[in-house]
Amino acid sequence: MANVTFDGVSKVFGDGTRAVDALDLEIHDGEFMVLVGPSGCGKTTALKMVAGLEEVSVGAIRIGERIVNDLTPKQRDIAMVFQSYALYPHLSVRDNIAFPLKLKKTRKDEIDRRVREAARILDLEPYLKRKPRSLSGGQRQRVAMGRAIVREPSVFLMDEPLSNLDAKLRVQMRADIKRLQSELEVTTIYVTHDQVEAMTMGHRVAVLRKGELQQVGPPEDLYQRPRNMFVGGFIGSPAMNMLAATVEQRNGTFEVVAGETRIEAGGEILATHPALASYEGREVVLGIRPEGLEDALLVDGSAGRPRLRGQAVLREALGAETLIHFSAAVRPAVTDEVRELAEDIGDDRAPALTGDVEAATLVGRFSSQSKIREGDAIDVAIDERALHYFDPSSGDAI
Amino acid sequence: MGATRKRGPQLRGLPFVLPYLPFLILFGIAPMVYALDLAFTDAGGGWVGVDNFTRTYNDFRFMPAMKHVLIYTTVWLGALMVFVVALALLLHGRASRASSTFRFLYYLPGALAGAAAVLVWLFMLDPTVSPASFLLHHVLGADFFAQSIAPGNLPYLFAMMAFWTGAGGWIVVMYGALNTIPPDLEQAARIDGANAIQIALRLKLPLIRKWIAYMLILSFATGTQLFVEPEIVQHASFGLVPDTWSANQLAYQLAFRFADFNGAAAIAVDLLAIGLIGAVVIVMRTGLFRADD
Amino acid sequence: MRALGLGVRTAILLTFAVFFIAPVVWLLLAPTKSDEALITSSPFSFGDFDHVALAWKHLDAFSDHVYRRWITNTLYYALSATAITLVVSVPAGYGLALGNFPGRKLVLSATLVVMIMPAAALVLPIFLELNALHLIGSSLSIILPFAFFPFGVYLAYLYYATAIPRDLLDAARVDGCGELQTFLRVALPLAKPVVALVFFFSFVSDWNNFFLPYVMLADSNQYPITVGLSNLLSSTPSFNPSVGGGGQSVNIFKPELALATLLAVVPVAIVFVLSQRALVRGLVGGGVKE
C-alpha cells in the first residue's frame, strides 16, 4: 500500500522530444487513477517511469516515501500488466503466475497457496496446466493479471490491458478489474486512450496531452467542468460541438452570438462564468455537448430558449435515444485542439477545417421520440445552463 | 543481481556481447587490417605502395588464374540464378508431397561439401567407372579421365561441382521465401487472368528479389575464392592441372612455397575488392536496398 | 494443355533429381564392388558386403590407421568449436538485438562486413597471427578460428530482433529478474530454434572446412577428414599413376576411396537430414522474416 507521486517529472528522449513535461501528480494510497489521452500524449511513458522501465530525465518519482528514480524495477515492489500481456510462452499458466514468486525464492507451499488463490479469483483454475498459446485473449489477459496480483505489490500498473479484446469482453473485464481493485485496495495506475474506459473505471482521471497534464479530478468534474478545450472535447462521447462565437453587448446585456443564434448571457451564466464579460467584442469558442441539444418540438416553452436552425444530415437511432447530425449556419471552431481531437478519432477531413467555413455539422442527442428524419429542416433547442466557453487562443475555459 | 544502485540502461546487453568481441577482433577485424597492411608493405615492413599489386599482376600465372576464376564464377552464378530460381518456382507451383521429396533429394548433396564432393566427381568424370560415361564421351569427347579434365573444361566442371553441392540449400531457401508470399496475392492474380507462368515470372519472381540478391552476393564472394576443387583435382591429376590454377591457389603458393606473404596478401586484397564490387553491382542491379515493397 | 505443362514440369524436376542423386547412389554402391568390377559392371549394380569389409580393411591399414584419427580429429574440432560458438554467439546476438549500448551498431556492422568476406581471404593473416602466438600446430589453431562464427551471431541477432517482443523482457524485469536471469530464464529457453540452426551451420561448416586446416596443420596425424581425403588421394595410384609401388604396397583403389568419402560424409549427412525442417522454418519462416 502506498501513494505514488510525480514531482516535476519530465522525460526527454535522445532526439529532443519531450514525452512528458513537468508532470506533477499525486496518486493516493488505494486509489484507481486513470491516465488518459490521445496516442503520443506521454501516458505510457509516465507509467513506464513509475515501473522503472524508462529513466526519469528531470524530477522525482516517489512510491510511498521513497524516491525510486534509481531503483531497478524489481526493487520497487510494483507489478505490471502489459498491453500485449507479455506471458512467457514456454511456461504453463501456473508457472507464469508463479514466476515472480520463484524469483524471490518464496517457499514452495506459499507459492502454491498464492497461485491457487489468484487462479480462484480470476477463474483460471481449469487452465493452470495449459500454455499461453492455447488460451483465448480474455484468458491470457487474466493470466497477466494473475501474475501481477500474486506478488501482492504496493502498486499495480496497467498499460491498456483491454485494448486487444473485443468490445463485449472489454465491457465485462472493465467491471471485473474495477471490482478486483476495490477488493484488493491496491494503488492502481491505469493507462488507456479510451475515454469511456477512463470515465467508468477511475476514482480520478488525469488527462494528458503532448506530455502535459491538462486536468485531474473525479470523472464528473472533468465532464462538467473541463478546464480547457482539449479536455472538453476529449471527454464525452459523442464529442462536444465546438463553435466559433462572439460576445456582444446589446441594451446592457451580454449575448453570445453564433451565426443567427443569440444566447443571452444572463445573471446565471455570468455568475458561473464571470470572465465572459471581458470578452466583449471578441471571439470565444462555444462548446455545446450533444446532450445539451434537443428537438425543439419536444421541449415545452422552447420559444423562449435560444435555438439553432439547421438541416438534419444523418440519423442514428440507438433505441434509448437518437443521435442527429445536422448542419447549421454557424462557424466551427478551428484551433489546434480541435484538429488534434479530430485526428485522434481518425477523422482526416481536418483540412476542411482550415480557413473560413460558414457551416458546421453538429451532433445532438435527442429523445427517441423525436420524429426528425434525414433531410428535414429542424429547430434545435439549446440548454443554456449546459454551455461551455473557451478562449480561442489559450484554450482555457472562461 | 540485487545491486541497490541501478546501472543505467546505457550499457544494457554489453556483458552478453563481450565474449564475442575478442573473436571478432582476433579472427575478423585484425586479419582484415593485417592483410591490408601486408599488401602495401614489403617483407621488412616498409611501405611500398602498390608494388605488390603490380608485381603480382605481372606474374605470368596471375592473369590465367584470374581468368579461370572469372569464367568459373560467371558460369556458377548463372547456373544458380537460372536453375535455382526455376526449380524453386517449379516446385512451388504445385506444392505436394512430391515437391518436398524433390527438395530433399536436391538438398542431400550439400552434405558432401568440399573435399568429399570433389572426390565423388572425380569418379563421375572418369569415363571408365562413371554412370555418365555416355555424356562424357559425347559432350566432352573424353574416354579417359585425363581427357575429362582438359584445361578448357575445368571452369565448367568446377562450376558444376559447386552447383551440385550448393544448389539444394539455396533451393530450400528460395522455396521458403516463396512461401512467405501471401496466398491472397496469387489468388488475386489468378482472378485477374494470369496463368501459371505469368504468376511465376511477374508476381513471385520480383517478390523474392531480395533472396536472389543475397544468394548472388554470397556466392560471388565465395566463388572468387575458389580453392578446394582445383587443389584436389590437382592432386589427383598430378601435373595436368597446375597448382596455381585459381587466384587463391596462387596466393597460397606465394605464401607457403615462396614465402612471399606480401604478394599473397595483395592477391587476397584483390579478391576481397572484387567480392565487394560484385556485391555493390548486384545490389544496384537488383535494387536490393530500394524502399521495400 | 495443362497435362503437357505438368509433363514438362515433371520431366525437368526428374532430370535434376537424377543429376543430384545419381552420384550419391553410385557412391553408396561403389564400396561393394572390387576395383575391376567398378570398371566392368554397371555403375548401379550391387556387389556384396564382403567387398565393403575388404575395402575397410585396406583403408584402415593405410598409414597406420590414420583414417580413424582423421575422423576423430574432425569430430573433436567440429564439436569443440561449435560448443564455443554456441556459448559465445547466441548471447552476443541477444545483446546486439535487445541491448542498448554505445557501439552496438558498430559491432553489428563489423559482423556483417566480416560475414560477407569469405574465410579464405582471412586465413593467411590468421596464420601469421597464430604463428606469432606460437599456436601453429596445436588444435587451438583450428578450434579458435572455427569458433569465430559471425553468421551464427547474425542469425541469433535476427531471431532475437524479430521473435522476442521487448515487452516480454520488461515483464521479466518487473517480475524480478536481473539482466542475467532475464536471459537465462526467458530469452534462452525461447531460442531453441536458433540454437539448433547455429549448431547445424557451425558443425557442418567446421566439418567440411578444407582451407584453414590445410594451411595450419603440417602433421598429417592432426588432419581433419577433408584434408585427409586429399592426402589419401595424392598418395594412391588410383588417379595418380606416378605414385605407388616403391616398397610399400598401398591398397587404396577406387572402392577404398569411395568408402573413405562415404564414411567422411555420414556424420554430417545425419545432422543434415535431421535439420532440414528446422532450417527452412528458422531461416525464412520465423527467424529471418521481416
User: Which among B23, B128, B261 has the least Cβ separation from residue C147?
Assistant: B23
Both C172 and C98 in a single domain?
Answer: yes
Cα–Cα distance, C245 to A196 (Å, whole number)? 95
Q: Is residue C202 part of a domain?
A: yes
The pTM assigned to this predicted structure is: 0.81
Q: How confident is the model at residue B44 (pLDDT cuts 50, 70, 90)?
A: confident
CB B89, CB B175: distance < 8 Å: no
B131 near C CB under 8 A? yes
Give mean pLDDT, residues B103-116.
85
The cell numbers describing C209, all together, are 572446412
| Phi/psi of residue C189, nearest 5 degrees | -60, -30
CA-angle at B90, arms to B86 and B95, nearest 5°: 145
Both C13 and C156 in a single domain?
Answer: no
At residue A32, the pLDDT reads 96
Number of CB pairs, chain B paired with chain C, less than 8 A apart: 291
Both C98 and C1 in a single domain?
Answer: no
User: Which among C23, C99, C128 has the least Cβ separation from residue B120?
Assistant: C23
CB A80, CB A51: distance < 8 Å: yes
Both C5 and C85 in a single domain?
Answer: no
Q: B239: which residues sit within 8 A by CB, 6+ positions away?
A: C242
User: Which among A52, A55, A70 has the least Cβ separation from residue B5?
Assistant: A70
User: Chain A 101-120, CB below 8 Å of chain C: which residues?
Assistant: 103-104
**What letter represents residue B266's amino acid?**
A
At residue C287, the pLDDT reads 32
CA distance A137 to chain B (A): 25
Least confident among A292-301, A350-359, B5-14, B252-261: A350-359
Look at A74 and C170 and tell me if their CB atoms are within 8 Å: no
Give the up-direction half-sphere exposure of residue A329: CA atoms within 13 A in the CB hemisphere.
9
CA distance C188 to chain A (A): 10
By CB atoms closer than 10 A (0-12, 13-18, 19+), residue C215 is buried
Q: Which residue of A has its CA nearest to C169?
A: A86
Q: Is residue C244 part of a domain?
A: yes
Both C13 and C137 in a single domain?
Answer: no
Which residue in A71, A44, A70 sits closest to A193, CA to CA? A44
Both C30 and C112 in a single domain?
Answer: no
CA-angle at A193, arms to A192 and A198, nearest 5°: 60
At residue B100, the pLDDT reads 80
Q: Is residue C91 part of a domain?
A: yes
pLDDT digits (tens, 9 = 90+) for B204-228: 888 888 888 888 888 888 888 898 8
CB B227, CB B264: distance < 8 Å: no
Look at A72 and C178 and tell me if their CB atoms are within 8 Å: yes
A60 near C CB under 8 A? no
User: Which among C101, C227, C261 has the least Cβ separation from residue B14?
Assistant: C101
Mean pLDDT of residues grouped by 10 in chain A (398 residues)? 89 89 94 93 93 92 91 90 91 93 90 93 92 92 92 92 90 92 93 92 94 94 92 90 88 83 81 84 90 85 79 91 89 82 68 62 89 88 86 87
Q: Which residue of C has its CA nearest to A83?
A: C167
Residue A331 backbone zone (phi > 0: left; psi -120 to 50: alpha; other: beta): beta
How many CB atoms lie under 10 A from the CB of residue A278? 10
Look at B5 and A75 and tell me if their CB atoms are within 8 Å: no
Classify each residue of A286-300 as buried b or exposed e, where b means 16 or more C-beta atoms within 10 Å of its C-beta. bbbbbebbbbbeebe
Q: Is residue C56 part of a domain?
A: no
Q: Is residue C54 part of a domain?
A: no
B221 near C CB under 8 A? yes
How many CB atoms lie under 10 A from the CB of residue A307? 20
By CB atoms closer than 10 A (0-12, 13-18, 19+), residue A179 is exposed
B4 near A CB under 8 A? yes
Q: Which residue of C has its CA nearest to B4?
A: C178
Write out the residue range of the structural domain in which residue C243 sits: 64-287
Both C34 and C145 in a single domain?
Answer: no
Both C142 and C200 in a single domain?
Answer: yes
**What letter represents residue A227's amino acid?**
R
| Sign of the Cα pseudo-torsion (C274, C279, C285, C286, in order) | positive
Chain C contact set for A147 (CB, 8 A): 171, 175
Q: How many angstroms separate the most distant Cα atoms in chain C?
A: 76
At residue B1, the pLDDT reads 38
At residue B290, the pLDDT reads 55
CATH of domain A241-298+305-390: 2.40.50.140
Domain count, chain C: 2
pLDDT tens for chain C, residues 1 to 290: 456 677 888 888 899 999 999 999 999 888 888 888 888 888 888 888 888 888 888 888 888 889 999 999 999 999 999 999 999 999 999 999 998 888 898 999 899 888 877 777 788 889 988 988 898 888 999 999 999 999 999 989 989 988 888 899 999 999 989 889 999 999 999 988 889 889 988 998 899 999 999 999 989 899 999 999 988 888 776 665 555 444 346 778 888 888 999 999 888 888 877 776 666 555 544 333 22
Q: Is residue C53 part of a domain?
A: no
Look at B4 and A75 and tell me if their CB atoms are within 8 Å: yes
Q: Which CATH class is domain B66-239?
A: mainly alpha
Both C169 and C215 in a single domain?
Answer: yes
Both C37 and C74 in a single domain?
Answer: no
B24 near C CB under 8 A? yes
Instruction: Specify the CATH number for the domain of residue C161.
Output: 1.10.3720.10
A75 near B CB under 8 A? yes
Cα–Cα distance, C51 to A212 (Å, whole number)? 86
Chain region(s) in chain A for CATH 2.40.50.140:
241-298+305-390
User: Which among C174, C178, C186 has the least Cβ separation from residue A78?
Assistant: C174
Cα–Cα distance, C227 to C205 (Å, whole number)? 14
At residue A250, the pLDDT reads 82
Q: C90: which residues sit within 8 A by CB, 6+ positions away?
A: C152, C156, C188, C191, C194, C195, C198
CA distance C77 to chain B (A): 17
| Sign of the Cα pseudo-torsion (C266, C271, C274, C279, in order) | negative
Q: What is the ipTM of this complex?
A: 0.84
Look at A70 and B6 and tell me if their CB atoms are within 8 Å: yes
Q: How confident is the model at residue B291 (pLDDT cuts 50, 70, 90)?
A: very low
Look at C176 and A82 and tell me if their CB atoms are within 8 Å: no
Question: Does residue B238 register a pLDDT over 90?
Answer: no
Domain ranges across chain B = 66-239
Four-way CATH pick for A4-230: 1.10.3720.10, 3.40.50.300, 2.30.30.140, 3.40.640.10:
3.40.50.300
Cα–Cα distance, B265 to B253 (Å, whole number)? 12
Both C147 and C276 in a single domain?
Answer: yes
The two beta strands, A253-258 and A261-265, are antiparallel
